[in-house]
Amino acid sequence: MVDTEISDNVIDVPRPIVRRFQARPQREGVGAVVRRSIGRYELKYFDPFIVLDEFSVSAPAGFPDHPHRGFETVTYMLQGAITHEDFAGHKGTINAGDLQWMTAGRGIVHSEMPAAQGVQKGLQLWINLSSKHKIVEPKYQEIQSKDVVEAEKNGVKVRVIAGEALGKKSPVYTRTPTLYLDFTLKQGANLQQPIPKSWNAFVYVLEGEGIFGNSRSSPVTAHHLLLLGPGDGLVAWNKSNKPLRFILVGGEPLGEPLVQLGPFVMNTQEEIDQTLEDFDNCVNGFERVKFWKSEAMID
Ligand code: FJE
Ligand code: FE
Q: What is the pLDDT of residue 296?
A: 81
Mean pLDDT computed over every residue of the chain: 95
Quote the CA–CA distance of 285 and 297 in Å, as a whole number.
22
Q: Is 233 in the pocket of ligand 1 (CB under 6 A)?
A: no
Q: What is the pLDDT of residue 215?
A: 84
Residue 268 within a domain: no
Residue 260 within a domain: no
Q: What is the pLDDT of residue 297?
A: 81
Q: What is the pLDDT of residue 218?
A: 94
Quote the CA–CA distance of 257 and 120 in Å, as a whole number.
35
Query: What is the whole-number distance in angstroms between the Cα of residue 125 and the centre of ligand 2?
Result: 10
Range among 3-17, 264-278, 285-299 rated most confident: 264-278
Residue 263 within a domain: no
Q: What is the pLDDT of residue 9?
A: 67
Average pLDDT (31-40) is 98
- Report yes or no: 37 and 16 within 8 Å, Cβ to Cβ: no
Query: What is the whole-number distance in angstroms between the Cα of residue 151 and the centre of ligand 1?
Result: 31
Q: What values do phi and psi take at 92, rounded to 5?
A: -175, 175
Average pLDDT (6-32) is 89
Average pLDDT (252-281) is 98
Name the closest ligand to CA 124: 1
Residue 296 within a domain: no
Q: What is the pLDDT of residue 268?
A: 98
CATH number for the domain that contains residue 210:
2.60.120.10
Query: What is the whole-number distance in angstroms between the Cα of residue 63 and the centre of ligand 1?
Result: 6
Query: What is the whole-number distance in angstroms between the Cα of residue 112 and the centre of ligand 2?
Result: 6
Residue 123 within a domain: yes
Contacts (Cβ under 8 Å, ≥6 apart) of 242: 187, 208, 209
Contacts (Cβ under 8 Å, ≥6 apart) of 287: none
Q: What values do phi and psi take at 147, rounded to 5?
A: -100, 0
pLDDT band of 35, cuts 50, 70, 90: very high
With a pLDDT cut of 90, the percent of the chain lying above it is 93
Q: What is the pLDDT of residue 10?
A: 81
The pTM of the whole model exceeds 0.85: yes
Give 148-190 pLDDT, tens digit per residue: 999 999 999 999 999 999 999 999 999 999 999 999 999 999 9
Q: Is 29 in the pocket of ligand 1 (CB under 6 A)?
A: yes
Quote the CA–CA distance of 142 and 91 in Å, as a whole number.
11
Q: Per-residue pLDDT for 5 more than 50?
A: no
Domain of 65 in residue numbering reads as 17-251
Q: Is 40 in the pocket of ligand 1 (CB under 6 A)?
A: no
Residue 243 within a domain: yes
- As a residue count, the chain comes to 299
- Report yes or no: 293 and 108 within 8 Å, Cβ to Cβ: no
Query: What is the whole-number distance in angstroms between the Cα of residue 47 and the centre of ligand 1?
Result: 19
Give 208-225 pLDDT, tens digit per residue: 999 999 888 999 999 999
Average pLDDT (243-250) is 98
Give 136-156 pLDDT, tens digit per residue: 999 999 999 999 999 999 999
Residue 93 within a domain: yes
Average pLDDT (220-246) is 98
Q: Per-residue pLDDT for 3 more than 50?
A: no
Number of domains, the chain = 1
Give 60-84 pLDDT, tens digit per residue: 999 999 999 999 999 999 999 999 9
Q: Which helix (H) or strand (E) holds 279?
A: helix 269-281
Residue 256 within a domain: no
Contacts (Cβ under 8 Å, ≥6 apart) of 88: 108, 138, 288
Query: Which is it for the CA torsion 48, 267, 259, 42, positive or negative?
Result: positive
Burial class of residue 150 (count of CB atoms within 10 Å of its CB; 0-12, 13-18, 19+):
middle
DSSP 82-104: EEEEETTS-EEEEETT-EEEEE-
Q: Is 112 in the pocket of ligand 1 (CB under 6 A)?
A: yes
